[in-house]
Structure 1
Amino acid sequence: MFSLPKTATIIEVGPRDGLQNEARTVNTEDKLDFIKALQEAGLKEMELTSFVSPKWVPQMADARDIVAGAQKIGRQMVLTPNERGITSALEAGADSIAVFVGVTNSFNEKNINKTTAESMETLQPLIKKAKQDGIFVRACISTAFYCPFEGKIDPQRTIDLCRQFVDWGVDELSVADTIGLANPQESHELFSRLKEQFPEVLIAAHFHDTRRMALANAYAALIAGVDRFDASAGGLGGCPFAPGATGNVATEDLVHMFHRMGVDTGVDLEKLYEAISLIEPHVSNPLHTGMYTLYKNRK
């Protein structure tokens, strides 16, 4: 019989991963209100924004203002695709960065016009320099289970890519089911192997809910030993470079499931619902995740 952890950490990715694919431009002040409300709900680790070219992701054009305006509570990470992004993030006051790469060449070439090997060659000196400067570095591993262009991924390919990052000294691996095709058996297998091989590194599970299996996959990762999970309030999200990807697993649904199982997240669900209600009027589509829908029907 397996045992569950007493606590789990939720890394809130709504302000970054959740909003990056939003067609309607969300004002900076509305984003900051959303971030503040999420922090007040107990979410102490968060992806705030992304220092990418506004040409490719217009929603993130206000990254500097977001970093400057957000309350300094807990770990606040920003996504940085290259040296320019890292430099801009650090100049803006960030002290925790996230880099990203896809397991497959096809995804990388669609995303940043580089193969996986070329991306890694570029990232290696940047990561080593960041670690020398005392910066927290998170490595986001996209298409860890399935790729929209190449199909199912051999788990060993994902593990080998993670090993490179570990060898370079990253603090955390965020391993993503980018297009939401993984099943619980695949989740348990990969995360069990990752936890066994990299016990000294923080490992977070990142699931999208394309086939409505994100909660089941999160549970499978939990019993594999993972106690860190990316999630997006209201189920916001998607990926502009991954056809078919839908929103991330909803923070409120994940928190509710964990709490029902006796796994504490430190998140106040009522305050989380209030945070979601702040951002809902500013996004294109109604938010109708399970727990948030119950909250609205209750009002």
Structure 2
Amino acid sequence: MALGNQTQVAEFVFLGFSGITDGQTYLFVVFLVIYLFTMLGNIIIVILILLDSRLHSPMYFFLSHLSCLDVCYSSVTVPKILGNLLRHQHTISYNQCLAQMFFLMAFSGSECWLLAVMAYDLYAAICQPLRYSCLMSSQVCVHLAAVIWVWGFLDAAVHTALASKLSFCGAVQMHHIFCDLPPLLKIACGDKRVSEIVMHVATFFAGMSPFLLVVISYVYILSSILQIRSNTGRRKAFSTCTSHVIVVIIYFGNGLLNYNRPSAGYFLEIDILVSTVYCILTPMLNPLIYSLRNKEVKGALKNVLESQRKVYASSQKQ
């Protein structure tokens, strides 16, 4: 049914797993394990930061927000994928598609700027140690976190409003496994230039701008680290930055491929691989990267487990 120049769409069909008929049960298990590890890892990070007073610092305050974003980020896509794999019917309603795209872009936009703020926090700690308490006071941190979340949702609202005006002709089959702006634009008909231009412009401000801030911060950080005379001091400073650098490379690299790859020359399998790494695997990897390389997080986990062991032992004696 058409309303003006817009085709009324009831649902979209995902073609991402259309070539897999016998292995969907295995895919369900894989995505379920990824989702459970994502939830467990990020929730543990948040709980440790809340419980251990040694982790009450700007760095871990922003890390807790990163974990919250990753929990939300993964929950937007994976439960729907799991449901579709169980039903062997890969569809999503029009309204659910727009809602999924909105929250996906909101959380991804917020995470980009959060990583930039975390880089600035490292810059302030290493390059401006005497002014650090002023530059990253608790009030400043709360304001920065609020701006990050608000920005993400405002950016997503613009894209979703434009996407809601797109027209769709014929079969509404999406070459993907969840709703996102690039695959939605691919199947839209009519004039979609405004949405495409806004997407690329927003990618610059929401993606490249924070990435440039990260690069600038690390130029100053590297310069300061190289001036440290002690080898132990240099190793400690490098160790502090390594986890964040790994997350930045994974996140921004996959984000650039996801939202700015050319419309031609990509196969469906590559589209799915890039989006799966960007939206599903990265939220699982973040807590692993930060916990495995962070002595303070591992120490906090050890203390919590030890205290729980003592509580359990005392209860058994009673």
The TM tier, using the shorter chain, reads under 0.3
TM-score, structure 1 length as denominator? 0.25
Higher strand share: 1
Which TM-score applies when normalising by structure 2? 0.24
Q: Which has the larger radius of gyration?
A: 2
